[in-house]
Amino acid sequence: MLFGQSLFQSVLERLEQERSEEEDEAPAASAYRVRGFSTGFVAATMEGAIGSRHAERSYLDVLEDTPPPVPEEEPVMPDHLLRLLPEEIAEDLALSPSDGVARLNEKRRLFAKFNHPDGVHENFRDNATIRMTIANLMIDEALRRLDA
């Protein structure tokens, strides 16, 4: 408590005092303010008058320069994404009993590089998800066997 006031009240009083001092020092605001350029200013800087015909011609000129859109071809599913059986995925992973933790993690990363759902076309994501799920289960099981 400073002189019968709380610390908060004294801070508020000091802030009010500083604000009133700043207002006294600030110059008077001018009555006239430029808010933007008028259209007369823009037209005076352009060479020649801009009419609706000129704007339409410019728009059509741009359209003539753009090539027509090329229809996208339907993507073809890679063969490895058609292999959904656990036996086929195990063959693709080429897991062996001699694989250590580092080798299994490397196989997981390499498999994900070509089979992760985020890396394939959206039409093939279901197959990629199935392959990644089965592969992760197989690698996790191999890691559990190593720990045992």
Q: What pLDDT is stored for residue 8 in this prediction?
A: 85
Residue 115 pLDDT level (bands cut at 50, 70, 90): very high
DSSP 26: S
Q: How far is CA 11 from the centre of its chain?
A: 45
User: Global pTM?
Assistant: 0.52
Name the token pair of 33: 């303010």
Cβ neighbors of 105 (< 8 A, separation 6 or more) are 139
90 phi and psi angles, rounded to 5 deg: -65, -40
Q: Report domain extents, the chain.
A: 83-147
Give dist(CA 106, CA 111) in Å, integer: 9
Q: What angle (nearest 5°) sits at the alpha carbon of residue 138, between those of residues 135 and 144?
A: 140
Of 109, 108, 126, the C-alpha closest to 117 is 126
Q: Which amino acid is at 17?
A: Q
**What would the pLDDT profile of 39-93 be if each residue is shown by its tens digit?**
555 555 455 555 567 777 777 777 666 677 788 888 999 999 999 999 999 999 9
